[in-house]
Amino acid sequence: MKNIIFLAPPAAGKGTLSEMLVEKYGYGHISTGDLLREEVAAKTELGKKAEGLMKAGKFVPDEIILKLIENRITKPDCENGYILDGFPRTKIQAEKYDELLKDLGKELGIVIYIDIDKQMAIERACSRITCPNCGRIFNKYSVEMKPKVEGICDDCGAKLTQRADDTEETFIKRFDEYMEKTMPLYDYYNKKGVLKNIKAYVSKYDTFAEAVKVIEE
Protein backbone atom coordinates (compact mmCIF):
# COMPACT_ATOMS: atom_id res chain seq x y z
CA MET A 1 0.00 0.00 0.00
CA LYS A 2 1.15 3.54 -0.77
CA ASN A 3 2.19 5.75 2.14
CA ILE A 4 0.29 9.03 2.09
CA ILE A 5 1.38 12.50 3.09
CA PHE A 6 -1.41 15.01 3.58
CA LEU A 7 -0.52 18.52 2.60
CA ALA A 8 -3.34 20.72 3.77
CA PRO A 9 -3.89 23.92 5.71
CA PRO A 10 -5.29 23.57 9.25
CA ALA A 11 -8.99 22.58 9.31
CA ALA A 12 -8.94 21.35 5.69
CA GLY A 13 -10.25 18.06 7.07
CA LYS A 14 -7.11 15.92 7.04
CA GLY A 15 -7.83 14.46 10.49
CA THR A 16 -11.32 13.35 9.52
CA LEU A 17 -10.19 12.10 6.12
CA SER A 18 -7.37 10.15 7.78
CA GLU A 19 -9.86 8.43 10.12
CA MET A 20 -11.97 7.39 7.10
CA LEU A 21 -8.96 6.12 5.11
CA VAL A 22 -7.58 4.21 8.11
CA GLU A 23 -10.94 2.47 8.36
CA LYS A 24 -11.04 1.64 4.63
CA TYR A 25 -7.42 0.61 4.07
CA GLY A 26 -6.05 -0.17 7.55
CA TYR A 27 -3.28 2.44 7.36
CA GLY A 28 -1.28 3.49 10.40
CA HIS A 29 -2.22 7.09 11.23
CA ILE A 30 0.46 9.54 12.30
CA SER A 31 -0.63 13.01 13.34
CA THR A 32 2.30 15.03 14.67
CA GLY A 33 -0.19 17.43 16.31
CA ASP A 34 -1.83 14.52 18.20
CA LEU A 35 1.56 13.03 19.16
CA LEU A 36 2.59 16.42 20.55
CA ARG A 37 -0.71 16.91 22.41
CA GLU A 38 -0.20 13.48 24.03
CA GLU A 39 3.25 14.58 25.20
CA VAL A 40 1.79 17.84 26.56
CA ALA A 41 -1.01 15.98 28.39
CA ALA A 42 1.51 13.52 29.88
CA LYS A 43 3.67 16.51 30.96
CA THR A 44 6.85 14.93 29.53
CA GLU A 45 10.03 17.00 29.01
CA LEU A 46 9.25 17.08 25.29
CA GLY A 47 5.65 18.15 26.02
CA LYS A 48 6.84 21.00 28.23
CA LYS A 49 9.10 22.27 25.43
CA ALA A 50 6.30 22.03 22.85
CA GLU A 51 3.37 23.44 24.87
CA GLY A 52 4.13 27.17 24.72
CA LEU A 53 5.01 27.05 21.02
CA MET A 54 1.80 25.20 20.19
CA LYS A 55 -0.37 27.61 22.19
CA ALA A 56 1.22 30.50 20.28
CA GLY A 57 0.53 28.76 16.94
CA LYS A 58 4.32 28.37 16.32
CA PHE A 59 6.18 25.38 14.91
CA VAL A 60 7.89 22.92 17.25
CA PRO A 61 11.66 22.37 16.46
CA ASP A 62 12.54 19.87 13.73
CA GLU A 63 14.69 17.59 15.95
CA ILE A 64 11.69 16.89 18.19
CA ILE A 65 9.36 16.26 15.26
CA LEU A 66 11.81 14.01 13.37
CA LYS A 67 12.37 11.88 16.47
CA LEU A 68 8.61 11.45 16.96
CA ILE A 69 8.25 10.45 13.28
CA GLU A 70 11.11 7.95 13.36
CA ASN A 71 9.70 6.27 16.49
CA ARG A 72 6.24 6.10 14.99
CA ILE A 73 6.88 4.89 11.39
CA THR A 74 8.91 1.96 12.66
CA LYS A 75 5.93 0.61 14.70
CA PRO A 76 4.20 -2.57 13.40
CA ASP A 77 0.93 -0.83 12.41
CA CYS A 78 2.88 1.23 9.85
CA GLU A 79 4.47 -1.75 8.10
CA ASN A 80 1.76 -1.90 5.40
CA GLY A 81 1.44 1.81 4.81
CA TYR A 82 0.75 4.90 6.87
CA ILE A 83 -0.75 8.35 6.64
CA LEU A 84 1.28 11.37 7.66
CA ASP A 85 -1.03 14.10 8.89
CA GLY A 86 0.74 17.34 9.78
CA PHE A 87 4.26 16.38 8.68
CA PRO A 88 6.38 17.49 6.85
CA ARG A 89 5.46 21.13 7.23
CA THR A 90 8.59 22.78 5.83
CA LYS A 91 11.02 22.04 3.00
CA ILE A 92 13.74 21.27 5.54
CA GLN A 93 11.48 18.72 7.26
CA ALA A 94 10.73 17.18 3.82
CA GLU A 95 14.44 16.87 3.02
CA LYS A 96 15.20 15.36 6.42
CA TYR A 97 12.28 12.97 5.96
CA ASP A 98 13.69 11.85 2.56
CA GLU A 99 16.99 11.05 4.32
CA LEU A 100 15.19 9.13 7.06
CA LEU A 101 13.24 7.06 4.49
CA LYS A 102 16.48 6.24 2.68
CA ASP A 103 18.09 5.10 5.94
CA LEU A 104 15.08 2.96 6.82
CA GLY A 105 14.60 1.62 3.24
CA LYS A 106 11.02 2.91 3.09
CA GLU A 107 9.03 4.40 0.16
CA LEU A 108 7.77 7.99 -0.01
CA GLY A 109 4.38 7.09 -1.57
CA ILE A 110 1.98 9.87 -2.66
CA VAL A 111 1.27 13.39 -1.43
CA ILE A 112 -2.34 14.59 -1.36
CA TYR A 113 -2.96 18.34 -1.29
CA ILE A 114 -6.36 19.37 0.13
CA ASP A 115 -7.38 22.78 -1.13
CA ILE A 116 -9.55 24.87 1.25
CA ASP A 117 -10.75 28.47 1.25
CA LYS A 118 -9.42 30.46 4.27
CA GLN A 119 -12.86 31.67 5.44
CA MET A 120 -14.26 28.14 5.35
CA ALA A 121 -11.26 26.93 7.35
CA ILE A 122 -11.75 29.63 10.04
CA GLU A 123 -15.43 28.77 10.44
CA ARG A 124 -14.65 25.07 10.68
CA ALA A 125 -11.88 25.48 13.23
CA CYS A 126 -13.92 27.70 15.53
CA SER A 127 -16.74 25.17 15.71
CA ARG A 128 -14.52 22.09 15.95
CA ILE A 129 -14.62 19.97 19.11
CA THR A 130 -12.49 16.90 19.73
CA CYS A 131 -12.46 13.96 22.06
CA PRO A 132 -9.45 14.25 24.41
CA ASN A 133 -9.69 10.51 25.06
CA CYS A 134 -9.90 8.85 21.59
CA GLY A 135 -9.10 11.81 19.32
CA ARG A 136 -12.33 11.72 17.27
CA ILE A 137 -13.20 15.05 15.67
CA PHE A 138 -16.71 16.59 15.76
CA ASN A 139 -18.18 19.89 14.65
CA LYS A 140 -20.88 21.69 16.63
CA TYR A 141 -22.59 23.18 13.58
CA SER A 142 -22.28 20.46 10.97
CA VAL A 143 -25.22 18.09 10.54
CA GLU A 144 -22.82 15.31 9.51
CA MET A 145 -20.18 15.91 12.13
CA LYS A 146 -22.04 16.86 15.30
CA PRO A 147 -22.08 14.37 18.19
CA LYS A 148 -25.30 12.42 18.85
CA VAL A 149 -25.43 13.84 22.39
CA GLU A 150 -24.22 17.44 22.71
CA GLY A 151 -20.70 17.66 24.14
CA ILE A 152 -20.19 13.87 24.44
CA CYS A 153 -18.04 11.58 22.24
CA ASP A 154 -20.16 9.05 20.27
CA ASP A 155 -17.40 6.43 20.47
CA CYS A 156 -16.13 6.52 24.03
CA GLY A 157 -18.50 8.77 26.00
CA ALA A 158 -15.79 11.26 27.07
CA LYS A 159 -16.60 14.97 27.38
CA LEU A 160 -15.63 16.81 24.18
CA THR A 161 -13.32 19.81 24.36
CA GLN A 162 -12.20 22.63 22.09
CA ARG A 163 -8.49 22.65 21.20
CA ALA A 164 -6.55 25.41 22.96
CA ASP A 165 -5.24 26.63 19.58
CA ASP A 166 -8.64 26.74 17.84
CA THR A 167 -9.47 30.33 18.83
CA GLU A 168 -9.94 32.60 15.80
CA GLU A 169 -6.81 34.67 16.51
CA THR A 170 -4.49 31.68 16.95
CA PHE A 171 -6.11 29.86 14.09
CA ILE A 172 -5.45 32.68 11.62
CA LYS A 173 -1.79 32.70 12.73
CA ARG A 174 -1.56 28.94 12.17
CA PHE A 175 -3.24 29.21 8.79
CA ASP A 176 -0.96 32.00 7.59
CA GLU A 177 2.17 30.32 8.95
CA TYR A 178 1.15 27.12 7.23
CA MET A 179 0.68 28.85 3.89
CA GLU A 180 4.01 30.66 4.10
CA LYS A 181 6.12 27.74 5.30
CA THR A 182 4.35 24.76 3.81
CA MET A 183 3.38 25.85 0.33
CA PRO A 184 6.99 25.47 -0.95
CA LEU A 185 6.41 21.76 -0.28
CA TYR A 186 3.76 21.77 -2.96
CA ASP A 187 6.43 22.53 -5.57
CA TYR A 188 8.92 20.18 -3.92
CA TYR A 189 6.58 17.18 -4.26
CA ASN A 190 5.12 18.32 -7.58
CA LYS A 191 8.63 18.18 -9.09
CA LYS A 192 9.03 14.62 -7.79
CA GLY A 193 5.79 13.72 -9.62
CA VAL A 194 4.02 12.40 -6.49
CA LEU A 195 1.54 15.24 -5.88
CA LYS A 196 -2.25 14.73 -6.19
CA ASN A 197 -4.80 17.54 -5.75
CA ILE A 198 -8.22 17.24 -4.14
CA LYS A 199 -10.75 19.80 -2.85
CA ALA A 200 -12.19 20.18 0.67
CA TYR A 201 -15.95 19.84 0.23
CA VAL A 202 -18.61 20.72 2.81
CA SER A 203 -19.45 17.01 3.01
CA LYS A 204 -16.68 14.74 4.28
CA TYR A 205 -18.02 11.94 2.05
CA ASP A 206 -17.37 13.99 -1.10
CA THR A 207 -13.80 14.76 0.02
CA PHE A 208 -13.31 11.08 0.90
CA ALA A 209 -14.54 9.96 -2.55
CA GLU A 210 -11.97 12.23 -4.24
CA ALA A 211 -9.19 10.94 -2.01
CA VAL A 212 -10.05 7.31 -2.78
CA LYS A 213 -9.98 8.13 -6.50
CA VAL A 214 -6.44 9.55 -6.40
CA ILE A 215 -5.16 6.74 -4.13
CA GLU A 216 -6.49 4.04 -6.46
CA GLU A 217 -5.62 5.63 -9.79
Active site residues: 14, 89, 128, 163, 174
User: Of 65, 125, 145, 185, which one interacts with ligand AMP (CB under 6 A)?
Assistant: 65
- Does residue 57 bind ligand AMP (CB under 6 A)? yes
φ, ψ (nearest 5 deg) of residue 114 = -105, 115
Could you tell me the smallest distance in angstroms from the CB atom of residue 55 to ligand AMP? 8
SS3 11: coil
User: Of 20, 22, 53, 172, which one interacts with ligand AMP (CB under 6 A)?
Assistant: 53
d(CA 74, CA 149): 38
- Does residue 54 bind ligand AMP (CB under 6 A)? yes
User: Of 51, 72, 78, 89, which one interacts with ligand AMP (CB under 6 A)?
Assistant: 89
Query: Residue 2, exposed/middle/buried by CB under 10 A (0-12, 13-18, 19+)?
Result: middle
User: Of 5, 8, 12, 36, which one interacts with ligand AMP (CB under 6 A)?
Assistant: 36
C-alpha distance from residue 33 to each of 140, 177, 187, 199 (Å):
21, 15, 23, 22
User: Of 2, 22, 25, 33, which one interacts with ligand AMP (CB under 6 A)?
Assistant: 33
φ, ψ (nearest 5 deg) of residue 5 = -110, 130
- What residues numbered 114-133 form the site for ligand AMP, per CB under 6 A? none
CA torsion 176→123→203→12, rounded to 10°?
20
- Does residue 32 bind ligand AMP (CB under 6 A)? yes
Is the CB of 53 or the CB of 214 nearer to ligand AMP? 53
Is the CB of 41 or the CB of 209 nearer to ligand AMP? 41
| Dihedral (CA of 136, 138, 144, 150) sign | positive
Interacting residue ranges for ligand AMP, rule: CB under 6 A: 10, 32-33, 36, 53-54, 57-60, 65, 86-87, 89, 93, 165, 174
